[in-house]
Amino acid sequence: MSQYGDIFTDDLLLTIFPAERTDAFFEALFGEAEEGSYDIGLGYVGENDSGLEFEMQLKQRPGKCLACNLTFGLPEVFARHPIINMQGVADAVAQAIGQKTASWTLGATRQVSRELSVIPLTIQPE
């Protein structure tokens, strides 16, 4: 296990990026949360010289089609959207390891399967 693997548990990741944020995001975009075709979650991947590696996980909702939706422009949307609040996510990660703030970068969307796409998130605690 990585150095921080015991810190970034599923429970902590849900605290940093609560499941309810997905519905709030889709409600802001479409006016109705049910219009969203995926749930957004935060996953911990590990660490490297660039920082702490996470991924924004886009998991297909039952009866919806993730592969039919445009997910490749999402890094730019997530970077700016106040409900997603990437700076807040990065700062919460930094605080979990005893730092105050962090910088962050999002990578390009990668399709893992028809039911799962991920957006790499690198966080550099400051």
Sequence spans of domains, the chain: 10-125
Which pLDDT score, from 0 to 100, does residue 2 have?
Answer: 67
* Residue, of 107 and 2, whose pLDDT is higher: 107
Angstrom distance (rounded) from CA 102 to CA 13: 16
Angstrom distance (rounded) from CA 109 to CA 71: 7
pTM, entire model:
0.92
Indicate whether 49 pLDDT > 80: yes
Angstrom distance (rounded) from CA 96 to CA 40: 21
Q: pLDDT-based confidence at 69, cuts 50/70/90?
A: low
What length is written for the chain?
126
Enter the tokens of residue 95: 């605080």
Indicate whether 62 pLDDT > 80: yes
Q: Which helix (H) or strand (E) holds 41?
A: strand 38-48
